């Protein structure tokens, strides 16, 4: 049996000073727990998450997160994420739903899950945005409410949506 052992993998172009390939350079966590009634617009910026200051031109950004909705409506509506100049990205973002009380549309809980990478040499402040853009332009929304709470169901606590950005050395 063959074995490959190494203590370092270095890109052909080398590493910038202080950047370790595959190592986390920095990360930032963002939370939104504001209960929000949603628009039915075909294109909508749901959350202007904030700005991530990218330190190295020799790194990638990994975005991970989850968003919670109540009273599920449209499931095929083009959820997207955007970092800096990436444009709307539809990769690495999916939705799931759970009908907790059969026959009750108000009980359908929807969540979006994000797990994606953005490779750019740009450094500095990168604005983060999450929203939706319906391909055929009709009105849609993932649910009636984003970050539901006891107003939506007396048994509920306040839900929150979270996004974490990791900057990882190449």
Helices (H) and strands (E) in the chain, counts: 0, 10
DSSP state of 101: S
pLDDT at 167 over 70: yes
CA distance 154 to 136: 36
Check: CB of residue 48 under 8 Å from CB of residue 55.
no
The residue segments making up the domain with residue 98 are 29-169
In a domain, 70, yes or no: yes
- pTM for the predicted model, two decimal places: 0.81
What's the mean pLDDT in 146-153?
A: 88
DSSP state of 77: S
The encoded tokens of residue 110 equal 């929807």
Per-residue confidence at 8, pLDDT binned at 50, 70, 90?
low
In a domain, 4, yes or no: no
pLDDT at 1 over 80: no
pLDDT at 125: 96
Instruction: Provide the phi-psi class of 169: left if phi over 0, else alpha when psi is between -120 and 50, else beta.
Output: beta
How would you classify the pairing of strands 79-83 and 143-146?
A: unpaired
In a domain, 113, yes or no: yes
How confident is the model over 26-52, as pLDDT tens digits?
899 999 999 999 999 999 999 999 999
In a domain, 5, yes or no: no
pLDDT at 57 over 80: yes
pLDDT at 153: 79
How wide is the angle at C-alpha 105 spanned by C-alphas 41 and 108, nearest 5°?
80
Per-residue confidence at 152, pLDDT binned at 50, 70, 90?
confident
Per-residue confidence at 25, pLDDT binned at 50, 70, 90?
confident
The CB-side HSE value for 92 (13 A sphere, CA atoms) comes to: 15
Check: CB of residue 124 under 8 Å from CB of residue 53.
yes
Q: How many residues does the chain have?
A: 170
How confident is the model over 62-110, as pLDDT tens digits?
999 999 998 887 777 889 999 999 999 999 998 887 766 555 555 567 8
pLDDT at 107: 56
DSSP state of 167: E
> How many structural domains comprise the chain?
1
């Amino acid at each position: 049996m063959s074995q490959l052992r190494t203590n370092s993998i270095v890109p052909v172009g080398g590493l910038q000073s202080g950047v370790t390939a595959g190592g986390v350079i920095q990360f930032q966590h963002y939370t939104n727990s504001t209960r929000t009634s949603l628009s039915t617009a075909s294109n909508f910026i749901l959350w202007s998450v904030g700005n991530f200051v990218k330190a190295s031109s020799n790194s990638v950004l990994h975005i991970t997160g989850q968003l919670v909705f109540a009273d599920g409506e449209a499931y095929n509506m083009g959820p997207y994420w955007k970092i800096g100049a990436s444009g709307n990205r539809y990769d690495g973002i999916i939705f799931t739903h759970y009908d907790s009380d059969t026959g009750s549309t108000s009980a359908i809980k929807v969540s979006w899950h994000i797990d994606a990478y953005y490779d750019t040499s740009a450094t500095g402040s990168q604005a983060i945005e999450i929203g939706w853009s319906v391909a055929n332009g009709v009105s849609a929304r993932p649910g009636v409410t984003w970050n539901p709470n006891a107003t939506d169901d007396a048994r509920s606590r306040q839900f929150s949506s979270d996004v974490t950005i990791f900057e990882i050395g190449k």
